Amino acid sequence: MRIIVVSDSHGDYSAVEDVFLRNSDADWLFHLGDGERDVNQFVASYPTLASKVIHVAGNCDFNSFSHDVFTLPVMENKIFATHGHKYGVKSSLENLKKTARENGCNIVLYGHTHSSFTRCENGLYIMNPGSISCPYDGRPASFGHIDISPAGIVMNIANVAPLK
């Protein structure tokens, strides 16, 4: 199973469209918040892909009808997805990790910091795909992909566009 993860598009619809279309063969297309209008435009433009798209609300998704958290069982795993602002991810991941474990999740996805991050820590796979449009970490705009199989879990960060 392949999952594509983006976050923090902040109105850059073309970045969302590009990454989601290039990876439309993925099983799921996650947007971790601060880009609900971009997600809505993508779903309206590509209704055949709408069933693959999952969105959580970010702190800039005003008047959102999306949930703050989404959990998804995948094979023998369970994903906890959130934007992260309500868990204080800019200062620490401890509250986020604790909440994910309390919900029986072993994969946790978050955004908000605009900085990419992956780590496996005591059986908990953690990913922030960075920002698909405006990264803060000095790296190119990025997204994540997760491959889940009976052999295990592989998480990677990819650049939206190749380095020049």
Report the CATH number at residue 120.
Answer: 3.60.21.10
- In the chain, the number of structural domains is 1
| 111 within domain boundaries | yes
With respect to residue 69, please indicate whether it lies within any of the assigned structural domains.
Answer: yes
Question: 10 Å Cβ neighbour count for 122?
Answer: 7
Does 74 map to a domain?
yes
- What pLDDT score does 130 carry? 97
Prediction pTM value: 0.95
pLDDT tens digits, residue range 154-164?
999 999 975 44
pLDDT in tens, 122-163: 999 999 999 999 999 999 999 999 999 999 999 999 999 754
Are 53 and 39 a contacting pair, CB within 8 Å?
yes
Q: Containing domain of residue 39, as a range?
A: 2-159
Tokens of 69: 């958290």
Q: Pick from 105, 46, 97, 43: which is nearest to 73 by CA?
A: 105
Establish if 24 belongs to a structural domain.
yes
Q: Is the Cβ–Cβ distance between 111 and 8 less than 8 Å? A: yes
Distance CA 162, CA 112 (A): 23
At residue 85, the pLDDT reads: 97
Sheet harboring 142-149: ordered strands across? 53-55, 28-31, 2-6, 142-149, 152-159
- Examine residue 164 and state whether it is found in any structural domain, yes or no: no
Q: Is residue 133 part of a domain?
A: yes
